[in-house]
Structure 1
Amino acid sequence: MSFDYGALDAALAAAVGDDESLIAELRGAFLESAERQVDLLRRARCDANWHYAAWRLKGLAASFGATDVIALAEEASRSAPGDPVILRKLENAIATDQADRS
């Protein structure tokens, strides 16, 4: 699954205008935070930690208008801790965007 960052870019542009360096900095902050939450999901060993990380990721995605990540985080919250399928989807979505932006 490839992550569509059109909504993220639109939300950032609406918030900060056409300041490309600020948009890049905010996008970087989003990706770093998203990676941190996916890492917490990967390390979660109980339902509570898994759900907490999924909900934090969903909230982060919502604050940036990243609708694809919202959907994946919601899917994660309904999955069992350590579900390799959803972890792979999340990791691929984030990695794809970083490769595209380099």
Structure 2
Amino acid sequence: MAYLGDAIDAHLAVATGDDAELFRELRAAFVESARRQFGLLGRARCDGNWEMAALRLKSLAATFHAEDLIALAEEALTGAPGEPAVLRRIAAALDSLEPTG
């Protein structure tokens, strides 16, 4: 899987210009929001909650043109609610967004 941060970082750079602090703040907010939706997805106990969390994750990813994350959210939408394989792939994608050092 491609590093999702490249697309997200590129779109944030356009939005924030030379303001490094704003860039870090918006990126952290994106990651926090994506993790929140993933948490809701993982805790969903009915089809409706699963679908809403997947739709929100997809919309958030689309905001920053994170194509791999959009595809994973779409996979969650079309698959069975609670599908562990898609949850693992989404978790790995979100982990790739975390700063490495």
SS of 1:39 mapped into structure 2? helix
Gaps of 5+ in 1: none
Give the fraction of aligned pairs with identical amino acids, expressed as a percent: 54
Gaps of 5+ in 2: none
Deviation at residue 3 of structure 1 after TM alignment: 3.4
SS of 1:98 mapped into structure 2? coil
Query: When you count helix as a share of all residues, which structure comes out higher?
Result: 1
After TM superposition, list the pairs within 5 Å mapping 1:5-84 onto structure 2.
5-84=5-84
Deviation at residue 18 of structure 1 after TM alignment: 2.3
Q: Which stretch of structure 1 is more off in the superposition, 26-35 or 59-68? A: 59-68
Separation of aligned partners in 1, 2:2 and 2:65: 16
Displacement over 2 Å in runs of 4+? 1-4
Answer yes or no: is the 8 Å Cα contact 2:4–2:68 preserved in 1: yes
TM-score normalised to structure 1 length = 0.90
Aligned-residue CA RMSD in angstroms?
1.3
